[in-house]
Structure 1
Amino acid sequence: MPAPLPPLSLSLQFARFDDVAEHRAALPRHKVTRWIRHALDGDVLQAEITVRIVDAEEGQTLNRDYRQKDYATNVLTFDYSSAPVVMADLVLCAPVVAREAAELGKPLAEHYAHLLVHGTLHAQGWDHETGEEEAEAMEAEEIAILAGLGLANPYAQP
């Protein structure tokens, strides 16, 4: 019998932007909670995570100010503490996520699920930018988590 999933305190926030309703519809609270909880490692006893969906301007500002990369990216993770209590902010840039989902031919909600799993792994110390081995391990973990959620491999070529 698998271990029970850890409790999650979730704050789900949406900035004001033109097509926010489409993004709200793709991110019902119960699904966001499920996706994040499934991405938490076995040594996590509880998590406090804020998910904020932003426009391109806010996404670019945060990426520039905190990562010194002057463009909007799909997901930014700000991790404050790790296991046994994970505390983090996940910031997802709605226009970038929507564009990527369209380019990949995926439903918006499915792409959000992948990016929330990805960001949650970053909040626990996973890092795909430190080397090829770490990138492959993180990718494999994402694929396994998403499969457990009934979602396809996000890295498979169509």
Structure 2
Amino acid sequence: MTTFSLNGREVTVSSEDDTPLLWVVRDELGLIGSKFGCGAAQCGACTMHLDGEPIRSCVTAVSDVAGHKVTTIEGITGPVAEAVRGAWQKLDVVQCGYCQSGQMMAAVALLSGTPQPSDADIDSALTGNICRCNTYQRIRAAVHEAAGTLKG
């Protein structure tokens, strides 16, 4: 049994300790916003936050999050999350959408620590989040748009 906070709510799961967090969240807890892409922490589609920091949930054992706070795309809240969502919609970032929950989770983490990022900051923070539709220019523009919204 593993107990952790998921999107602000304490949950206890009975999965094997080495079960990837992604499978627990999707299959046991029914939150399907985080996607399976590669299973090797290379694509970023499964990005969640662990105590506010982005992680690859496909290679994070559920036992590693015991007693910690996990946030999925369904649970991000607050001004940064709203600015990111708004920018993604305003700039029509999504093409197929498969990678976008991971992209948005990375963007929220970046803007939470670096409210006015440079292109280099954005590229660094989102490195490893692969977009097979190649919307990188729109993603970068949306992070800048969200930063502008936060600036006021």
Q: Same fold (TM over 0.5)?
A: no
TM-score (norm 2): 0.38
Kindly indicate which of the two structures has a greater share of residues assigned to helix: 1
TM-score (norm 1): 0.37
Kindly indicate which of the two structures has a greater share of residues assigned to strand: 1
